[in-house]
Structure 1
Amino acid sequence: MTDNSFFLKALIANDSKAIKDIYKANFFKVRSFIVKNRGQEQDAEDIFQKALLQLAVRYKKEKFIINTSFEAYLFTVCKNLWRRELNTNKIRVTNNDNLELKDDNEDIALAVLEQKRWELFTESLDLISENCKQILKLFFAKTAYAEIMERFNYNSETVVRQRVFKCKNSLKAIVRNDKRYKALTEL
């Protein structure tokens, strides 16, 4: 397995061979995701390029560490950027009388902020009990309470609701007690 910082350093150095390797290994998966989620190939190319730029800018500014594989991290960045793009397009369509000028620097900064928030969330999720982790993953996947009740052999959906509530509060407490939380919410 290659050191994740190798890819980040290659992006900063504009190493064309390494960047081609990143494209070969990752673009197909990103394109597939975006096309399946109301996008076109051009959208996938734009998002992939934005993700690489975002990673390079962020790594240049703060030498962060990727705790997963580079591929998984890049894919998550692309997914988050695409979801953000879909949400901003939804807003733009309702207000098509005004011409909006896009500021790429602001866009990158917001994307980096969202990625940092996502990292805090996923790291915090790893710190709660295994039971809570499983329950919240099902809850976030919009699994019906009845199904969660059956899976965990709880007596009623009320018990499931109480358990979800307690697990969400545990997760919130961990997030809020993290030293990064205040900086990520003040913006």
Structure 2
Amino acid sequence: MKNIAADPPADRRPRKVIDGSFLVLLVFTLAGGAAVVWIAGVARALGIVAETLGFLALLSPKIAAGIFIAATLPMLLPRDRVGRLIGRESGLRGLVVAAACGAAIPGGPMMTFPLAAGLTLAGADFGAMVAFVSGWSLLGLNRTLIWEFSFLPTELVWTRYLLCLPVPVLLGLVARAITLRRLA
């Protein structure tokens, strides 16, 4: 058993700028760009590039803030308390807490994913972060209350929500089982 309070976080492998996921995205991006040039012409492709760069300029401050959250969160939160609350030894309660926190997070992916990364570095386990991100994705209260109840029939929203309610915890349990199996 690992002493979360005394043991420093494990050394992380340095991340590569060009890795497999980047190459997959690059191939799809170039193929999509080539298809646009083929179908709509170079002018339309250049228009899409300009729109994308404008969107990137709007998104960059949010991404920077998210990275700042991910970098500073482990320094601000006590590792032993995070570990007890949503760490490997937190059990089912930790997965429920993580899923509920994910559901309560009002932000988009620019906030949620860096927050999950920061919590992982602060002592949260893989299963809890799967439950956290799944809770945000499936049970997000902000989206449900503002968008779904406004536009969809109430019965549909309640049915979807109740069916999705146990899923983040179940996914967290599966993630923990996979992690334990990998460590064994």
Using structure 1 for the length normalisation, give the TM-score. 0.32
Determine which structure has greater relative contact order: mean sequence separation of CA pairs < 8 Å that are 6+ residues apart, divided by chain length: 2
